[in-house]
Amino acid sequence: MGLVHYKVILSYNGSEFAGFQRQKDARTVQSEFEAGLRKIGWQGKSVLAAGRTDAGVHAVGQVVSFHLDWQHSLDDLRNALNYYLPRDMAVQSVEIAPDDFHPRFDAQCRCYRYQVFCWHVRDPIREVFAWRVWPKLDLKRMQEAGKVLIGVHDFQAFGSPTSEKGVTIREVFDLNWQQDVEGL
Protein backbone atom coordinates (compact mmCIF):
# COMPACT_ATOMS: atom_id res chain seq x y z
CA MET A 1 0.00 0.00 0.00
CA GLY A 2 2.90 2.38 0.72
CA LEU A 3 2.74 5.74 2.43
CA VAL A 4 -0.79 7.03 2.90
CA HIS A 5 -1.80 10.47 4.18
CA TYR A 6 -4.02 10.11 7.26
CA LYS A 7 -6.18 12.65 9.02
CA VAL A 8 -7.06 12.08 12.66
CA ILE A 9 -9.34 13.87 15.09
CA LEU A 10 -7.53 14.08 18.41
CA SER A 11 -8.91 14.98 21.81
CA TYR A 12 -6.89 15.73 24.91
CA ASN A 13 -7.04 17.05 28.43
CA GLY A 14 -4.44 19.81 28.28
CA SER A 15 -3.97 20.13 32.05
CA GLU A 16 -0.57 18.41 32.07
CA PHE A 17 0.68 19.61 28.69
CA ALA A 18 2.88 22.63 27.93
CA GLY A 19 0.76 23.20 24.82
CA PHE A 20 0.49 21.43 21.50
CA GLN A 21 3.78 22.27 19.79
CA ARG A 22 6.88 20.20 20.52
CA GLN A 23 9.27 21.94 22.98
CA LYS A 24 12.60 20.97 24.41
CA ASP A 25 12.32 19.64 27.98
CA ALA A 26 8.51 19.96 28.10
CA ARG A 27 5.65 17.49 27.77
CA THR A 28 3.56 18.50 24.76
CA VAL A 29 0.68 17.02 22.80
CA GLN A 30 2.75 16.86 19.63
CA SER A 31 5.68 15.06 21.26
CA GLU A 32 3.40 12.48 22.93
CA PHE A 33 1.42 11.92 19.73
CA GLU A 34 4.56 11.50 17.64
CA ALA A 35 5.98 9.07 20.23
CA GLY A 36 2.83 6.97 19.88
CA LEU A 37 3.12 7.07 16.09
CA ARG A 38 6.75 5.92 16.25
CA LYS A 39 5.67 2.84 18.22
CA ILE A 40 3.58 1.71 15.24
CA GLY A 41 6.30 2.35 12.67
CA TRP A 42 5.99 6.03 11.75
CA GLN A 43 9.27 7.44 10.48
CA GLY A 44 8.20 11.01 9.77
CA LYS A 45 9.81 14.13 11.22
CA SER A 46 6.73 16.10 12.23
CA VAL A 47 2.95 15.79 12.13
CA LEU A 48 0.83 18.61 10.75
CA ALA A 49 -1.87 20.15 12.95
CA ALA A 50 -4.77 22.54 12.48
CA GLY A 51 -3.35 24.82 15.15
CA ARG A 52 -1.52 25.01 18.42
CA THR A 53 -3.03 25.15 21.84
CA ASP A 54 -1.43 26.87 24.80
CA ALA A 55 -0.40 25.20 28.03
CA GLY A 56 -3.39 23.82 29.91
CA VAL A 57 -5.81 24.14 26.97
CA HIS A 58 -8.01 21.16 26.11
CA ALA A 59 -9.20 20.03 22.67
CA VAL A 60 -12.04 17.81 21.54
CA GLY A 61 -11.48 18.05 17.79
CA GLN A 62 -7.84 18.85 16.99
CA VAL A 63 -7.11 17.82 13.40
CA VAL A 64 -3.69 16.23 12.84
CA SER A 65 -2.28 14.58 9.73
CA PHE A 66 0.72 12.45 8.86
CA HIS A 67 1.97 9.94 6.29
CA LEU A 68 2.30 6.32 7.34
CA ASP A 69 2.76 2.92 5.73
CA TRP A 70 -0.06 1.04 7.52
CA GLN A 71 -1.27 -2.33 6.28
CA HIS A 72 -4.40 -2.60 8.44
CA SER A 73 -7.83 -0.97 8.71
CA LEU A 74 -8.56 2.59 9.81
CA ASP A 75 -10.15 1.24 13.00
CA ASP A 76 -6.98 -0.75 13.69
CA LEU A 77 -4.91 2.42 13.25
CA ARG A 78 -7.13 4.30 15.69
CA ASN A 79 -6.96 1.47 18.20
CA ALA A 80 -3.18 1.05 17.86
CA LEU A 81 -2.59 4.76 18.40
CA ASN A 82 -4.90 4.85 21.40
CA TYR A 83 -3.08 1.87 22.88
CA TYR A 84 0.22 3.78 22.80
CA LEU A 85 -1.05 7.26 23.63
CA PRO A 86 -1.17 8.46 27.24
CA ARG A 87 -4.49 8.41 29.08
CA ASP A 88 -4.99 12.17 28.69
CA MET A 89 -5.23 12.01 24.90
CA ALA A 90 -7.11 9.88 22.38
CA VAL A 91 -7.69 9.57 18.66
CA GLN A 92 -11.43 9.85 18.05
CA SER A 93 -11.40 9.04 14.32
CA VAL A 94 -9.08 8.27 11.43
CA GLU A 95 -9.60 8.75 7.71
CA ILE A 96 -7.50 8.81 4.57
CA ALA A 97 -6.78 12.36 3.43
CA PRO A 98 -5.83 13.66 -0.01
CA ASP A 99 -2.07 13.96 -0.46
CA ASP A 100 -2.27 17.76 -0.55
CA PHE A 101 -4.44 18.03 2.61
CA HIS A 102 -3.13 20.41 5.27
CA PRO A 103 -5.06 20.56 8.58
CA ARG A 104 -4.30 24.23 9.14
CA PHE A 105 -4.69 25.69 5.67
CA ASP A 106 -7.64 23.54 4.59
CA ALA A 107 -9.68 24.31 7.71
CA GLN A 108 -12.92 26.08 6.83
CA CYS A 109 -13.68 27.20 10.37
CA ARG A 110 -12.69 26.74 13.97
CA CYS A 111 -14.89 26.54 17.02
CA TYR A 112 -13.75 27.64 20.45
CA ARG A 113 -15.64 27.00 23.66
CA TYR A 114 -14.79 28.82 26.84
CA GLN A 115 -16.41 27.65 30.05
CA VAL A 116 -16.89 29.96 33.01
CA PHE A 117 -18.58 29.26 36.28
CA CYS A 118 -19.59 31.74 38.92
CA TRP A 119 -18.96 30.60 42.44
CA HIS A 120 -17.73 32.32 45.58
CA VAL A 121 -15.26 29.57 46.61
CA ARG A 122 -12.69 27.48 44.74
CA ASP A 123 -13.80 24.22 43.15
CA PRO A 124 -10.70 22.18 42.28
CA ILE A 125 -12.53 19.71 40.05
CA ARG A 126 -14.53 22.19 37.98
CA GLU A 127 -11.55 24.53 37.68
CA VAL A 128 -9.71 21.95 35.56
CA PHE A 129 -12.14 22.64 32.71
CA ALA A 130 -13.60 26.06 33.46
CA TRP A 131 -12.61 29.49 34.71
CA ARG A 132 -14.09 30.50 38.07
CA VAL A 133 -15.22 34.09 38.46
CA TRP A 134 -16.99 35.99 41.19
CA PRO A 135 -19.24 37.97 41.47
CA LYS A 136 -21.80 36.43 39.17
CA LEU A 137 -21.74 37.58 35.55
CA ASP A 138 -24.54 39.50 33.86
CA LEU A 139 -25.46 37.22 30.95
CA LYS A 140 -27.62 39.79 29.15
CA ARG A 141 -24.83 42.37 29.13
CA MET A 142 -22.35 39.76 27.91
CA GLN A 143 -24.66 38.81 25.01
CA GLU A 144 -24.98 42.47 24.01
CA ALA A 145 -21.23 43.07 24.23
CA GLY A 146 -20.51 39.96 22.17
CA LYS A 147 -22.59 41.20 19.24
CA VAL A 148 -19.87 43.69 18.28
CA LEU A 149 -17.54 40.78 17.43
CA ILE A 150 -19.91 39.20 14.91
CA GLY A 151 -18.78 39.95 11.36
CA VAL A 152 -15.49 40.63 9.62
CA HIS A 153 -12.70 42.23 11.69
CA ASP A 154 -8.96 42.70 11.59
CA PHE A 155 -7.41 40.85 14.53
CA GLN A 156 -3.87 42.14 13.97
CA ALA A 157 -3.63 43.15 17.63
CA PHE A 158 -3.90 39.46 18.58
CA GLY A 159 -1.31 37.97 16.22
CA SER A 160 0.61 38.22 13.00
CA PRO A 161 -0.26 36.79 9.58
CA THR A 162 0.60 33.12 9.05
CA SER A 163 2.57 33.88 5.88
CA GLU A 164 4.15 36.83 4.09
CA LYS A 165 1.01 37.38 2.02
CA GLY A 166 -1.32 36.34 4.88
CA VAL A 167 -3.93 38.50 6.49
CA THR A 168 -5.22 38.93 10.02
CA ILE A 169 -8.78 39.56 8.90
CA ARG A 170 -11.23 36.94 10.11
CA GLU A 171 -14.98 36.48 10.20
CA VAL A 172 -16.76 35.60 13.43
CA PHE A 173 -19.99 33.79 12.56
CA ASP A 174 -21.46 33.30 16.00
CA LEU A 175 -20.81 34.22 19.59
CA ASN A 176 -23.13 33.01 22.27
CA TRP A 177 -23.09 32.96 26.05
CA GLN A 178 -25.43 30.48 27.66
CA GLN A 179 -26.22 29.37 31.15
CA ASP A 180 -26.17 25.58 31.38
CA VAL A 181 -26.67 25.03 35.09
CA GLU A 182 -28.01 27.26 37.83
CA GLY A 183 -25.14 29.07 39.46
CA LEU A 184 -22.89 28.86 36.38
Single out the catalytic residue among 54, 75, 76, 138. Answer: 54
- The residues, any chain, with a CB within 8 Å of residue 33's CB and separated by 6 or more, are 10, 47, 64, 85, 89
Residue of 84, 69, 92, 86 lying closest to 9 (CA atoms): 92
Report the pLDDT value the prediction gives residue 161, as an integer from 0 to 100. Answer: 84
> Is residue 40 included in any domain, yes or no?
yes
In a domain, 152, yes or no: yes
Q: Are residues 90 and 130 in the same domain?
A: no
How many domains in the chain?
2
- Whether residue 150 sits in one domain with residue 84: no
45 found inside a domain: yes
How far apart are alpha carbons 49 and 64 in whole angstroms?
A: 4
Pair 92, 124 in one domain = no
Q: What is the pTM (predicted TM-score) of this model?
A: 0.84
Please indicate, yes or no, whether residues 15 and 50 belong to a single structural domain of this protein. Answer: yes
CATH code where residue 29 lies: 3.30.70.580
What is the average pLDDT score of the chain? 93
Mean pLDDT of 68-90: 98
> In the predicted model, is pLDDT for residue 1 greater than 80?
no
11 and 85 co-located in one domain: yes
pLDDT tens for residues 7-56?
Answer: 999 999 999 999 999 999 999 999 999 999 999 999 999 999 999 899 99
Res. 173: pLDDT tops 60: yes
Q: Report yes or no: 16 and 88 within 8 Å, Cβ to Cβ.
A: yes
pLDDT in tens, 79-89: 999 999 999 99
- Residue 52 CA from chain centroid, whole number: 7
Verify that 123 and 70 share a domain, yes or no.
Answer: no
In the structure, what pLDDT confidence band is assigned to residue 182 with cuts at 50, 70 and 90? Answer: low
Q: Is there a domain that residue 37 lies in?
A: yes
**Domain assignment present for 109:** no
Give per-residue pLDDT as tens, 98-126: 999 999 999 988 888 889 999 999 999 99
pLDDT above 80 for 181: no
| Chain segment 125-166, per-residue pLDDT in tens | 999 889 999 998 998 999 999 999 999 999 999 888 878 888
- Do residues 79 and 25 both lie within one domain? yes
Q: What residues make up the domain containing 29?
A: 3-96
Do 82 and 154 share a domain, yes or no?
Answer: no
Same domain membership, residue 132 and residue 89: no
Residue 176 has pLDDT above 80, yes or no: yes
pLDDT of residue 162: 75
Q: Is residue 108 part of a domain?
A: no
Query: 158 and 88: one domain?
Result: no
Predicted confidence (pLDDT) at residue 184 exceeds the cutoff of 50 = no
Q: Are residues 62 and 137 in the same domain?
A: no
Q: Are residues 157 and 87 in the same domain?
A: no
Q: Left if phi > 0, otherwise alpha if psi is -120 to 50, otherwise beta: which for 2?
A: left
Active site residue 88: no
Q: Is 41 left (phi over 0), alpha (psi -120 to 50) or beta?
A: left
